[in-house]
Structure 1
C-alpha cells in the first residue's frame, strides 16, 4: 500500500521575499497562499511566480475588503482569473467570486470589525468553501469562535500563519490529504472539501509570535494609512481605478 500523500499549505501570508521562502521551506511548508493588502491581482501573480520553485509553490490570492472602511468584511479568495477591487458591497463581491468559480474563504471570522459574522457565514453557507479555524494572530477565544462557526455551518476549516512578519511564516498550516502542485489543484481541494487537518506550532515562541502579529494590527488598521492608500480614488485596488474600467461602479461604496 502506498503512503498517503499530504501537502502542507500556509493558507494566508502577507509578505513574500527570499526570507519568507527560506523560512517556509525550513518549516516544511509546501504551498504558501500570498494575499497582500491593497495590491492588484496581476502584481500578486507576478510576485508569486517569481518566488515559486520546485520546492515551494506560491499561490496568488486576494483578501478583498468588502463594504466601507468603518463596516468592512474581509473575504479571502483563491483562483481569481480577473481582478476584483476592495470596497465594494458584499453582495457584489460574492457575485464576482461566483462568476469566476473561485474558492471563497472566511478569514478570522467575527474578529473585531473586519470579518464576516456567524450570521453572514450561515446566510452564505452555500457560497463559502471554508472557514478559518486557526489564525496565529487571533486570540484563543477568536480561534474557538472560528471552530464553532465551522462546526455549526458544517463547513471545512483551515489554518494560516497570517504572517505580516517574517518570523510568523509556517507557524500554522493546513495539511491536505492530496497533491497540490498548482493554483488549480488548491482551488479544487478547497471547493471539493478535500480531507485536511489544521496544524499549528506550540510553546512560548509560538505565543510570542502571535502576540507580535496582534500588536502589528494597530498599524495595519490605522485610518490614516488607508486614507492615504485608497480614498484618493487613484490607488491600485480602489474600485474607481482605471484598471477596473468602471465594471464595479454599481457596487462601489466609495
Structure 2
C-alpha cells in the first residue's frame, strides 16, 4: 500500500489481469474496485484476492443491473456477503443491499439509458452512500449533471476510470483522507462520508483513453448481450439461476 496519508481508489473497473495491476501501480493507485458485468460475487472475490498484494488492494464489488434490459439501472454495491443477481427490481436490489449493510454507490447517474435518475436516487437516498461525479465515459455535460444530482440529494461524490479496457485503469480516482487496507475499510469510508477529493489525469494520453472508453459503448449497450436475458438457466447472474435458490423470484423482472 502507499505510504501517503491518503488512499487513491479507482472506484470502478471492469478488467483485471497482470497488466491492469501493473498499470494501476504505475498510476499511483492504491485500491481498485473490481466489478465486472455478469459475474457472480464468489468468482469476483476469488479473482480480486488473486491480484491483491502489499502494493495494491483489489476490492470485489457488484454492479447490479436492476430492472429490465431496456430500463436497466446500474447500482454499485461494495461489501456484499451474499450474491445479488441482475434483472431484479431496483427496490428489490436496494432492499438486499440494506439487508447486507453494503455500501451503495451510484455510477454515472442519468447517463444514457443505464444510470439511476435523480428521482431514483432521491427515493432511495437512505441507502445511497455516494454518487459518481466523473468517469472516463463522461463528456463535460455528463459531469456537470452528475455533480448537480449529487448536490441535490446531498451525497458525497466519487470518480473512477470505469475502465472497460486496460489502458484506462487509473486515469481517474477518488483520494480518501485515510488509510484503506481492506474491503471493510473502504465500506466504512463510504458509509461514514469520509473526506475525499476526485481527480483525473490530463494530456493527450488521457484524452485518447477517454475517447476509447466512450467508443466502447457501441458494444456495451448492444443487443449482443441478449443471451443474458434469454438463457436464465445458464447465465450466472440471472435471478432465476439455480445458484440463487429462488430467493429473488418475487423481485425478478425476467
1:125 counterpart SS class: coil
Structure 1: 5+ residue stretches without partners? none
Moved more, 189-198 or 120-129: 120-129
TM-score, with normalisation over the residues of structure 1?
0.97
Once the 2 structures are TM-superposed, how far is the Cα of residue 4 of structure 1 from its aligned partner?
A: 7.4
Assess if the C-alpha contact under 8 Å between 1:4 and 1:177 holds in 2: no
Counterparts of 1:123 and 1:252 in 2: how far apart (Å)? 20
Assess if the C-alpha contact under 8 Å between 1:235 and 1:241 holds in 2: yes
Structure 2: 5+ residue stretches without partners? none
Counterpart check, 1:47 vs 2:38: no
Which residue of structure 1 lines up, in the alignment, with residue 103 of structure 2? Answer: 103
Counterparts of 2:80 and 2:140 in 1: how far apart (Å)? 31
Q: Report the aligned-residue RMSD.
A: 1.1
Which residue of structure 1 lines up, in the alignment, with residue 227 of structure 2? Answer: 228
Which residue of structure 1 lines up, in the alignment, with residue 11 of structure 2? Answer: 11
Counterparts of 1:236 and 1:123 in 2: how far apart (Å)? 29
TM-score, with normalisation over the residues of structure 2?
0.97
Assess if the C-alpha contact under 8 Å between 2:94 and 2:124 holds in 1: no
Counterparts of 1:66 and 1:163 in 2: how far apart (Å)? 21
Counterpart check, 1:137 vs 2:132: no
Which residue of structure 1 lines up, in the alignment, with residue 196 of structure 2? Answer: 196
Displaced runs of 4 or more, over 6 A: none
Once the 2 structures are TM-superposed, how far is the Cα of residue 137 of structure 1 from its aligned partner?
A: 1.1
Counterparts of 1:239 and 1:221 in 2: how far apart (Å)? 20
Once the 2 structures are TM-superposed, how far is the Cα of residue 129 of structure 1 from its aligned partner?
A: 0.1
Could you give the per-residue CA deviations for residues 221-254 of structure 1, whole angstroms, max 9, x where no partner exists?
Answer: 111x221234210210000000000000000000
Counterparts of 1:175 and 1:147 in 2: how far apart (Å)? 17
Counterpart check, 1:242 vs 2:242: yes
